[in-house]
Each structure stands twice: as structure tokens, then as C-alpha cells.
């Protein structure tokens, strides 16, 4: 029996999603079979309440308190859900993240990887976020979706939000694989679910209702054809 369990664990890949909210820290442990195309399985969900004042909107006010609750939340996860190396990701609220698409003609012909490419992207991120460049954390990629063909998709957040989450995780003894935007992470989960629920290349709408708003996307031919966002859940 032990040998069988060990083999099952070895063939499953596991990951943890961490969400630091206004009132609690939430963990979701996921797994999937490394050899078979099967649905992702939720192994465990753990929740640990935060003391009042630990958070102020998207800002982490008391990093030690958050780190303690992250550590305690991991302590509530059954041991069999924590076997092997875990890839850990932490979400940043959508309200703290700014996204934009920079049209190809705004790049002045600079090819991806050219010395003039990065300054153009950073300048656009600074304009969209309204935050000085040195205080921004920026990521981008060249978008191949039909609605933004050839454009550069940009995501930016205040560097302090990123550094605070990395520091809290480190204080809890956790190394983050990535820090992601909450609505975008939800979209990937919805698109993954659609693989098993809908016909191949079938058009559909995906909707995510989060703490700081509602996001919606129309998926056509497996790409994002349109998207909307309402900043308030109400």
C-alpha cells in the first residue's frame, strides 16, 4: 500500500495558490497527473483569519502578521497534500494592477528585444499606472490574439505590492514561483475548466467576480476576443 501511494504521489504534480485578502489568508492546493491529461484536482483548501489592521486594501500593513497566518495556513494542510516540491503562487488584487495594450505602431518599428523596445514599454506602463518608473514592477509579452494582433500586453503594479508579498512568503519559509494578478489567474482556471466542459474551439464567456470588481472575457477560437471590467462587485 505504501509503495502504491508513493507511486501515486510521484506521478502527480502539485501547486499552491496563496491569496492574502482583507480578512483572511487562503490556500488552495492543486494537483494533476504528470503523465495523463486529466482535470486538475483540488487537494485541500485552508483558511486562516487575519487580525484587523493587517491589510489596508491591497497594501500589506503588518507583514509579520500576514507571514504568521500564511505559515499557520500551511500548517493546516494535511501532510499527504504537501509531498514533494511545491510550486507556490501568490495573487495581487486586480485593483492594484494596471494593464494595457501598446499597439505595434507605437513601438516605432522597434523589434522585440531591441534596445529601444523596453524603454517604450516602460514609458507606457508609467503613463497607464500614473506611478514613476522606479516604483513600478512591470511585465509584458507580445499578444497574438485576434483582437490585439502584434500589440504588446503590459501589466504593472506598484513595486511595494510585489516586494511585500515576496517578503511575507519568505518570512513564512516559502519561495514564490510567481506573483500573479487575481483576475488573470482566475481566467486561466476558467479556460482550463472549459477544456473539459465545452466542445473544442467553442465560443464562450468567462466571468470572474472578485473582491474588487467583476471581470469578463469572450473566448473565441481559444483566444480572448474581447474583455470588460467593472471596478465594483455591486
- Say whether both 211 and 117 belong to one domain: no
For residue 186, the enclosing domain spans 2-94+160-230
For residue 28, list its beta bridge partners.
17, 45
- Say whether both 83 and 164 belong to one domain: yes
**Strands of the 213-220 sheet, one edge to the other:** 204-210, 213-220, 223-230
Give me the count of residues in the chain: 234
pTM greater than the 0.85 cutoff: no
Rounded CA separation 45/32 (Å): 16
Q: What is the pLDDT of residues 139-155, one digit of tens each?
A: 888 777 666 677 888 88
- Residue whose cell numbers read 514564490: 176
Q: State which of 132, 157, 182 marks the end of a domain.
A: 157
The domain that holds 102 is classified in CATH as 3.30.1490
Rounded CA separation 219/60 (Å): 34
pLDDT given for residue 20 in this prediction: 93
Which among 177, 23, 151 is positioned nearest to 91, based on CA atoms? 177
- Say whether both 6 and 53 belong to one domain: yes
Q: Is the pLDDT of residue 211 over 90?
A: no
Contact between 175 and 87 (Cβ < 8 Å): no
- Say whether both 116 and 54 belong to one domain: no
What DSSP state is assigned to residue 54?
A: S
Indicate the average pLDDT of the chain.
84
- Residue whose cell numbers read 497574438: 144
pLDDT given for residue 46 in this prediction: 93
Q: State which of 130, 157, 184 marks the end of a domain.
A: 157
Q: Domain tally for the chain?
A: 2
- Say whether both 89 and 188 belong to one domain: yes
- Say whether both 37 and 142 belong to one domain: no
Q: What is the pLDDT of residues 44-102, one digit of tens each?
A: 999 999 999 999 988 999 999 999 999 999 998 888 777 666 789 998 988 888 888 88
Close Cβ partners of 221 (under 8 Å, ≥ 6 residues apart):
146, 201, 203
- Say whether both 39 and 11 belong to one domain: yes
Rounded CA separation 179/99 (Å): 15
- Say whether both 183 and 117 belong to one domain: no
Percent of the chain with pLDDT over 90: 37
pLDDT band, very low/low/confident/very high, at 3 (cuts 50, 70, 90): very low
What DSSP state is assigned to residue 197?
A: H
The domain that holds 81 is classified in CATH as 3.30.420.40
Contact between 212 and 95 (Cβ < 8 Å): yes
- Say whether both 175 and 82 belong to one domain: yes
pLDDT band, very low/low/confident/very high, at 5 (cuts 50, 70, 90): very low
pLDDT given for residue 9 in this prediction: 47
Q: Is the pLDDT of residue 113 over 50?
A: yes
Report in angstroms the alpha-carbon separations of 196 from 34, 187, 224: 17, 15, 18
- Say whether both 112 and 216 belong to one domain: no
Contact between 207 and 214 (Cβ < 8 Å): yes
Q: What is the pLDDT of residues 162-185, one digit of tens each?
A: 999 999 999 999 999 988 888 888
- Say whether both 142 and 58 belong to one domain: no
- Say whether both 56 and 17 belong to one domain: yes
Close Cβ partners of 26 (under 8 Å, ≥ 6 residues apart):
18, 19, 45, 46, 47, 73
Amino acid at each position: 500500500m505504501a509503495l502504491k501511494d508513493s507511486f501515486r504521489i510521484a506521478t502527480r504534480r502539485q501547486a499552491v495558490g496563496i491569496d492574502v485578502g482583507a480578512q483572511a489568508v487562503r490556500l488552495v492546493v492543486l494537483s494533476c497527473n504528470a503523465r495523463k491529461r486529466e482535470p486538475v484536482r483540488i487537494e485541500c483548501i485552508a483558511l486562516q483569519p487575519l487580525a484587523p489592521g493587517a491589510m489596508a486594501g491591497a497594501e500589506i500593513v503588518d507583514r509579520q502578521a500576514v507571514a504568521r497566518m500564511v505559515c499557520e495556513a500551511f500548517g493546516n494542510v494535511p501532510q499527504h497534500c504537501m509531498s514533494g516540491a511545491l510550486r507556490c503562487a501568490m495573487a495581487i488584487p486586480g485593483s492594484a494592477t494596471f494593464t494595457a495594450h501598446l499597439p505595434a505602431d507605437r513601438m516605432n518599428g522597434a523589434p522585440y528585444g531591441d534596445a529601444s523596445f523596453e524603454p517604450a514599454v516602460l514609458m507606457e506602463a508609467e503613463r497607464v499606472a500614473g506611478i514613476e518608473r522606479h516604483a513600478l514592477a512591470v511585465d509584458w509579452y507580445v499578444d497574438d490574439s485576434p483582437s490585439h494582433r502584434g500589440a504588446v500586453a503590459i501589466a504593472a503594479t506598484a513595486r511595494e505590492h510585489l516586494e511585500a508579498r515576496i517578503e511575507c512568503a519568505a518570512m513564512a519559509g516559502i519561495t514564490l514561483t510567481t506573483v500573479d494578478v487575481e483576475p488573470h489567474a482566475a481566467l486561466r482556471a476558467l479556460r482550463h475548466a472549459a477544456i473539459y466542459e465545452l466542445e473544442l474551439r467553442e465560443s464562450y464567456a468567462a466571468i470572474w467576480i472578485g473582491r474588487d470588481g467583476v471581470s469578463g472575457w469572450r473566448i473565441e477560437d481559444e483566444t480572448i476576443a474581447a474583455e470588460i471590467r467593472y471596478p465594483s462587485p455591486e
